[in-house]
Structure 1
Amino acid sequence: MIEQYLALKAEAADSLLFFRMGDFYEMFFQDAVAATAALDIALTKRGQYMGEDIPMCGVPAHSHETYLARLISKGFRVAIAEQVEDPAEARKRGGKSVVRRAVVRVVTPGTLTEETLLDARSANRLAALGEAEGRMGLAWCDLSSGEFMTAPVDAALVGAELARLRPAELLVAEGREPPPGHLVAMRPRGDFDSTAGERGLCRRFEVGTLEGFGAFTRAELAAAGALIAFVEATQKDAAVRLRPPARHLPESAMLIDAATRASLELAETQAGSRKGSLLDCIDLTVTGAGARRLAADLAAPLTDPDAIAHRLDLLGWFVGAPTIRERVRAALKRIADIERALGRLSAGRGSPRDLGLLRDALSGALDLKRLLSESRLGVPAMLAECLGRIGPHGALVEGLAAALVAEPGFSVSDGGFIAEGFDPALDELRGLAQDGRRHIAALEARYREATGIAALKIRHNNVLGYHVEVAARHADPLMAADSGFTHRQTLAGVVRFNSVDLADLAARIAEASTKALAAETAHFAALRETVLEEADAAGDTAGALARIDVAAALAELAARGGWVRPAVDAGTAFDIRGGRHPVVEAALGAKREAFVSNDCDLGPERRLWLLTGPNMAGKSTFLRQNALLAVLAQTGSFVPAASAHIGVVDRLFSRVGASDNLAEGRSTFMVEMVETAAILRQATPRSLVILDEVGRGTSTYDGLAIAWAVVEAVHDSLASRCLFATHYHELTALAGRLSAVHLATVKVREWKGDLVFLHEVIAGAADRSYGLAVARLAGLPAAVTHRASEVLTRLEQGKAKTGGIAAGLGDLPLFSAAAPATPARDALRDALAALRPDEMSPRAALDTLYDLKRLADAGGETIS
């Protein structure tokens, strides 16, 4: 057995090997050590190999998916070795023969199809990065849904495309430097041969040429070929369903790089959580396929105004038809995930339940089609196209309805999923098997009458099977040679017997059960093949339902939040009236607080806004909200605003927030500069650029110089639409010589020494940064803020005199050689400390209060 294990382990290479042993999957040697650490299960030992104990651990076969999920989530790959012959065959070979086993599948993060291992609302993509003729290409698939796509990609934009796809696993040729931040599987360079890839695709899709699928580049073919080779290597003999490859052209979607996606928190927050992201905020879909479709739409906002308009037309139709929208969403809730049921069935991991899900889902899809087709409202073009893709599945639904019980089970081996009346021969076998108890009871009654032993019973156990059991005191008549009974076993107090009639009946019952299960298994295989013959049509239905779900969900969101339809065209306008941040507004709404809306007009004459104002006033929120409105509009969603007119944004860049990358040896300032450099290299006049506090990570003069130069570059060279927030008030001087610069600030008010944030963006520039006021709000000790106020006053006085920011610092006690041993004390604080309230009369207390008031009004006098 260990020899067999080691041979399969060599085949499994870097995967953990689940080795089937009866009711368990067992692991040995280093696999066992690694698995016990990852799963927190017991490590034991079994036998010896080369004189050493063999480490071993195991997991129950019936619940192995739970353990698989934990291993896959930790980055492991797992090879599944199953028994592939009957134990009786192994016994026939004699000697030390063991049951043959073979690796039937390698489970990797990118090749999952099981319902229990996947998030129903997220795609699970396997991607491959290929190179040929000096160009790059991507291919990706989702085995759980059948998606298969390719795309040409510039080397500089590989990171942006991978950030959009978020693959669970990435295939890269051996020897190539893998992109950072991805779970990578290195594959032989031969797998990335474009010619072999083209042949492999033609063979898989049974075509002589790929011209009917698209004009693929050699790099795309290299990536697609490697992907197909990996799928076939890991899925072994499973005929996993993939749709023919379709091309995605990067220019058809808004380019959003990884840093911008993280900054804007489109699909997940910077803490890695879906909750709190834009996707989480807008996702009101009621199906898993709809949620995956919305996530894909949001990840790749469109750049074609006509395509955007079609989505908005459909959404607007649902907004204007609340009753239909409610009925559609209720109907969709009852429709199961067609794509993933098809994926499981095609991979050989489906169940009778999946057939039942498809029966009910396709039937529900036809009902929904009738509901929408009967609407008296004019149907928009995209809805008409979706309805045309649904069905007809009448024959398939009827066939599944006739064959299956109402609620089929999870396992073929359990049987009982074929409906009564579908197969008369099966019904007869079942009748014998299910009526076995009645037949046994009748035989038991006959034996009692024949022997006169009223306590005689026919029992069953896994060792003897069916047998007659009597008390020991009644056993003698049955021991007689002519009794018709054969002695089997004597125990304390009871004796057990067999009989010809009982053995015959038991054999017929067992045979009937076996034959019934075999018949049901054959029916399952036939029904599966029937379903897979219509897999493409069923997949089209699933896609149409997902699109309808997304439109109805976004319409529900718009109706609830008072969102409006944006005007999206091919111009360069960016005019938002009363815009709101969707995520922040939702969070405030939960607290019953109102969000302050703001306008933003980045027209040609004011396409670069310089935004000043204190920290915490809402500058970053304003920057992000306008970027998110562009993303939503080009996704095909209504937006939270009074009105919105947006010229298509081809590339979106957001440099907001401070972070470092210690793993790559980059400081906060280096990360900021790398991201800013990418913007300056890649942005175009049709781009939207969001920049916040450029230059803050270095000295004041360096930072100001960099920020100044970046503003000039964005204005003069890129001519992009840009929101630029800064604390360098000196930059406002650029408005006098750069024609498209517009000054804006976030309105605040000081009230009785406190800073009040009004969150209103107005024209003009902030008079100062209010940093000390914010520090006081944050709870900085009063002694520190008071000392900071002193230093600030001296700095500003010195700067006014000499122009140098550090001028005058030498006069401060902190910096002088004769600095006092103790810090200056506040006279008001000293006076308060000297009070003895318990010793004061009411009149004295009142007089003291007036004295303190006069001291406070004197303002800022200190004593040593």
Structure 2
Amino acid sequence: MMAQFLEIKEGYPDALLFYRMGDFYELFFDDAVAAAAALDIALTKRGKHLGEDIPMCGVPVHSAEGYLLSLIRKGFRVAVCEQLENPAEAKKRGSKSVVKRDVVRLVTPGTLTEESLLDARRHNYLAAFNDVRGEGALAWVDISTGAFHVMPCPHLRLGPELARLAPREVVLSETNTENSAEAVTDAGASPTELGRSAFDSANAEKRLIDLYKVGSLDAFGNFSRAEMGAMGAIVEYLDITQKGKLPLLRPPVKELSQGAMQIDAATRRNLELTHSLSGGREGSLLATIDRTVTAGGGRLLERRISSPSRDLNEIHARHDAVRFLLEQRLICDTTREALRNVPDIDRALSRLGLERGGPRDLAAIRNGLAAAQELSDRLSQGDLPAKLGNASQRLKGHDPLIDLLDQALVAEPPLLARDGGFIAPGYDQDLDESRQLRDEGRSVIAGMQAQYAEHTGISALKVKHNNVLGYFIETTATHAQKMLNPPLSETYIHRQTTANAVRFTTVALSDMETKILNAGNRALEIEKGLYSSLTEQVLKRAAEIGETARALSEIDVATGFADLARSDGWAAPKIDDSRAFHVLAGRHPVVEAALRKTGSSFVANDCDLADGTNSADIWLLTGPNMAGKSTFLRQNALIALLAQAGSFVPAKEAHIGLVSQLFSRVGASDDLARGRSTFMVEMVETAAILNQADDRALVILDEIGRGTATYDGLSIAWATLEHLHDVNKSRALFATHYHEMTQLSDKLDGVENATISVKEWEGEVIFLHEVHKGAADRSYGVQVAKLAGLPESVVARANVVLDALEKGEREGSGQKAVIDDLPLFSASAKPEPETKMPQYLKDLELVLHDAHPDDMKPIEALSLLYELKEIMND
């Protein structure tokens, strides 16, 4: 057995080998040591190899999926080795023959299909990057849904595109691994190396032609050599990992790089599009706006948010669908209610295609198609916009398959085909007859028990069953003596004596057992055959079923957007080919949702950049910390993104010229793994913006240059703003604490100053969160430090230093001289001057000082309230 293990393991040196032994997957040698540590299970030993103990651990087959998920998440690949025959078959070749085993599947991060291993509302992409003489291409597939895409992708765009797709695994050529592995790991994916031949475009074309059983790929589009090689590498890798059982892949769809708004990895992270900065989904834009009710709709929404469209016709069609559903509330609500009953058709179909499905997947197809048919009937009653009308048409045409599955399957089938009991009574005559014999056999056995009890005169006699003896007659030792002697011994054959009972059989009982057992096995075999037949019928219509699943997702996203717009008061944006950016009373969707939970309201603000007349291209935003500058920047970026994703926007109105690229440099953190300081990270991100942004881009920059010396930072921020204005000519929001930069509005025609209002009252700062034209004269940093809880002595000292520095600057004295003139720090700072308290506050304080609410009677509390009211009136 160990010789067989070592032989199989040799073919999979980079994977943990799950070696099937009965009801367990066992791991040996280094695999066992690694798995035991990763899964926190016991490490044992079994036998010896080369004189040393063999480490061993194992997991039960029935709960293996959970362990597989843990290993995949920790970066392991797992080769699943199954028994290809039972021990009885092996013994026919000799008493010491080993059961045949082989790897049936290689489990990797990008090739998961099991429902329990996947997030239902997220795609699980496997990608491949290919480079042919400087021409790059990226292909990606989700084998759990069959989605297959490819696009041209220069090496420079690999990082941003991987950030958009968030694949779990990326296949790279052995000649390209060194150059691309860093971009892959930065995107959180696992790099996998394949030989150069897997990326050969000629071989790839043959693979794809064989896969789709066509004479040419021309019907799917024109693909470059790099694109063909990337797609071929994915098919080759799937063939390797699935051991020849290729999944149902839709024809490849070629995407154009200019078809979607370009958003780099830093911007996605800063804007928290699909994940918050803490790493979870909660607190992200996606989590806040997700009103979808189906798994497919959730996945489509994530794609829309990750890849906002730049196609005006597509954007307008999406908005028309949302507008219709917003106006037709009854249709919207009934549609959403019907969608709640739709299972995950795509993933059920994929599992059936990979032979990993079961009766419940067939039931999911049946229920999903039936719900789609019902939904189509409801939608046909309205005059639908193009997007919904097209989707509605794709819901129809499955009546024969629905009827077949409805007649064949029970309402709630079991998970596995081997469990049986999923074919409905009346569907197959042979199955019904076998079931009748199997089930009525129990009543026959009960009748035989009564007959034997009467014949022997032993009322306590029972007919029982176990897996060793089959059916047997059991009686107590006291009564057994009667059956062991003639004449009863001629009929009852002794089988076994136990401590408390004696067991017998008869020829008639043995014959009946054979009939009953054969009936049960025959019924199960018939069901398995019918399962295969039904699966075949479903897979014949896989393309049409896939279209229906996508149509359901489209409708789900549209109704979700409509529900969001209705409940949160979002407006339809005007999107055109201009450079306009006009937002009236815009809001940040995530911050507003968080404030709503606390009962607070969000302060809406306008933003008016370029409209081709008198508006500025760039707003230079100044104001104190904590006033809401970063929120204002982010909300306008999100409004543009939501509008082009097909959603209404959190504003009273919005007019947005098509945004080609979205860049954000908000917040900062260091990158210790690469030896980058906070300032270095900031500069790298800023450089990426200045080198890539075009005149259709929307750029938001927050406090550029804050990570270095004041004058260095000011000079970098100044030059950056000038470059955006003169060279990139982008629409931008630029927040800064360098008040000197407000002078640029006088020198650059496209720059306008804006600030956020604050009020000072009795030494305190009140943030109004209102943006208006103009410039701030100070940043209120010391006041914010006080709010944060710095010791009063520190705050007081900071005020002293600030006053001295500002005085020195006004008088033109050198900075060193100013520092030299500062009084030495005193740990016990002078107390702040006491503010005189108004008389009415003193009266209130006196009254309330002696009031004890816990001890008051209701009449006393009412009396106190009147007294307080009187003080306020006076």
Query: What's the TM-score once normalised by structure 1's chain length?
Result: 0.94
- Tell me whether 1:442 sits opposite 2:447 in the alignment: yes
- Alignment partner of 1:188 out of 167, 191, 195: 195
1:291 counterpart (298, 301, 307): 298
Q: Which of residues 222, 241, 254 is equivalent to 1:247?
A: 254
Whole-Å separation in 1 of the counterparts to 2:772 and 2:473: 95
1:120 matched residue in structure 2? 120
What is the aligned partner in structure 2 of residue 421 from structure 1? 426
Partner of 2:462: 457
Say if 1:798 and 1:806, in contact at 8 Å, map to a contact too.
no
- CA-to-aligned-CA distance 1:821-845 (integer Å, 9 cap, x gap): x55742668999xxxxxxxxx9xxx
TM-score, with length taken from structure 2: 0.92
Instruction: Find 1:626's aligned residue among 618, 636, 646.
Output: 636
Partners of 1:728 and 1:234 in 2: CA distance? 57
- What CA distance in whole angstroms lies between the structure 2 residues aligned with 1:803 and 1:132? 63
How far, CA to CA, are the matches of 1:468 and 1:780 in structure 2? 86
Cα 1:237–1:197, aligned 2, differ >3 Å: closer, same or farther?
closer
* Greater mean alpha carbon deviation, residues 195-204 or residues 241-250: 195-204
Give structure 2 stretches of 5+ with no counterpart. Answer: 837-845, 847-874
Return the offset for 1:801: 3.0
Deviations 1:300-352 (A, max 9, x none): 00111111000000010000011111100000001111101101111111010
Q: 2:101 is matched by which residue type in structure 1?
A: R
Say which of 392, 396, 409 aligns to 1:391. 396
What's the counterpart of residue 826 of structure 1? 830
Amino acid at match of 2:65: E
Residue identity matched to 2:402: V
Distance of 2:377 and 2:396 partners within structure 1: 11
2-structure distance, mates of 1:494, 1:642: 86
Q: Distance in 2 between matches of 1:454 and 1:779?
A: 87
Q: Distance in 1 between matches of 2:693 and 2:833?
A: 56
Answer whether contact 2:796 2:829 (CA < 8 A) is retained. Answer: no
- Secondary structure class of the residue paired with 1:475: helix
- Which whole-Å CA distance do the structure 2 matches of 1:539 and 1:583 have between them? 33
Q: What residue in structure 1 maps to residue 854 of structure 2?
A: none
Measure, in 2, the Cα distance between the counterparts of 1:363 and 1:742: 58
Whole-angstrom CA distance in 2 between matches of 1:453 and 1:770: 100
After superposition, the Cα gap between the structure-2 partners of 1:237 and 1:827, relative to the gap in structure 1 and judged at 3 Å, is closer
SS at the partner of 2:92?
A: helix
**Structure 1 counterpart of 2:453, which letter?**
R
Pair 1:829–1:685, CA change in 2 (3 A): closer
Stretch moving more, 46-55 or 706-715: 46-55
- Find the counterpart in structure 1 of residue 716 from structure 2: 706
1:554 Cα deviation after fit: 0.5
**SS of structure 2 residue aligned to 1:425:** helix
Q: Which moves more between the two structures, 593-602 or 81-90?
A: 81-90
Do structure 1's residue 811 and structure 2's residue 818 form an aligned pair?
A: no
Over the matched positions of the two proteins, sequence identity in percent amounts to 53
| Residues 483-508 of structure 1 deviation map (CA, whole Å, 9 limit, x = unaligned) | 12222111234221122111111111
Q: Partner amino acid for 2:774?
A: G
1:215 to partner: Cα distance: 1.2
Secondary structure of 1:105's counterpart equals strand
Aligned-partner Cα distance in 2 for 1:139–1:51: 49
Question: Are the counterparts in 2 of residues 130 and 223 from structure 1 also a CA contact under 8 Å?
Answer: yes
Q: CA deviation at 1:208?
A: 2.1
Give the equivalent residue in structure 1 for 2:686.
Answer: 676
| Pick aligned residue for 1:762 from 756, 772, 776 | 772
1:782-807 CA-partner distances (Å, limit 9, x unpaired): 11122112222222222223375444
Matched, 1:268 2:278: no
Question: Helix, strand or coil: the match of 2:124?
Answer: coil
Distance in 1 (CA, whole Å) between partners of 2:720 and 2:814 is 23
Q: Relative to structure 1, is the Cα distance of residues 736 and 807 closer, same or farther in structure 2, using a 3 angstrom cutoff?
A: farther
For the pair 1:151 / 2:151, whether they are aligned, the reply is yes
State the partner residue of 2:365: 358
How many angstroms does 1:391 deviate by?
2.6
**1:272-310 Cα shifts (integer Å, max 9, x gaps):** 111000000100000000000000011100111111000
What count of residue pairs does the alignment treat as equivalent?
A: 825
1:612-651 aligned at under 5 Å gives the runs 612-651=622-661
Greater Cα shift, 203-212 or 422-431 = 203-212
Code of the residue aligned with 1:170 in structure 2: it is V
| 1:808 aligned counterpart, secondary structure | helix
In structure 2, the residue matched to 1:302 is 309
**Aligned equivalent of 1:71:** 71
- Quickly say closer, same or farther: Cα 1:531–1:828, change in 2 above 3 A: closer
Amino acid at match of 1:731: M
Deviations 1:83-133 (A, max 9, x none): 111322210111421110110111111111111111111111111111113
After superposition, the Cα gap between the structure-2 partners of 1:18 and 1:828, relative to the gap in structure 1 and judged at 3 Å, is: closer
**Alignment deviations for residues 600-650 of structure 1 (CA, whole Å, 9 cap, x no partner):** 011144011100001000000000000000000000100010110000000
Over the aligned positions, Cα root-mean-square deviation in angstroms equals 1.7
Q: Is the 1:315–1:554 contact (alpha carbons within 8 Å) kept by the matching residues of 2?
A: yes
User: How far off is 1:778 after superposition?
Assistant: 1.1
Gaps spanning 5+ residues in structure 1: where? 815-819, 833-841, 843-864
SS at match of 1:435: helix
Give the deviation of 1:473 after TM superposition. 3.0
What is the distance in 2 between the residues matched to 1:446 and 1:570?
91
In 2, Cα distance between equivalents of 1:772 and 1:806: 22
The answer to whether the 8 Å contact 2:670/2:676 transfers is: yes
Which one is further off, 324-333 or 68-77? Answer: 68-77
Q: 1:196 Cα shift?
A: 1.5
Distance 2:686 2:814 in 1: 28
Q: Does 2:794 correspond to 1:795?
A: no
Could you report, residue by residue, the CA deviation over 1:133-156 in whole angstroms, capped at 9, with x for unpaired residues?
Answer: 321110100011010100101221
Q: 2:830 is matched by which residue type in structure 1?
A: D
Amino acid at match of 1:715: H
Where does residue 872 of structure 2 map in the other structure? none
Q: Does 1:100 align with 2:100?
A: yes
Residue 774 of structure 1 corresponds to which residue in structure 2?
784
Give the partner amino acid of 2:656.
Answer: I
Deviation of 1:660 after TM superposition, in Å, equals 1.0
Q: Tell me how far 1:174 sits from its aligned partner.
A: 2.0
Q: Is the 8 A contact 1:799 1:807 kept in 2?
A: no
- Structure 1 residue identity aligned to 2:476: A
Code of the residue aligned with 1:602 in structure 2: it is L
Residue 289 of structure 1 contacts residue 337 of structure 1 at CA under 8 Å; is this kept in 2? yes
Alignment of 1:490-509 (within 5 A): 490-509=497-516
Partner of 1:51 in structure 2? Answer: 51
Question: What SS does the aligned partner of 2:663 have?
Answer: strand
CA contact (8 A) 2:793 2:827 kept: no
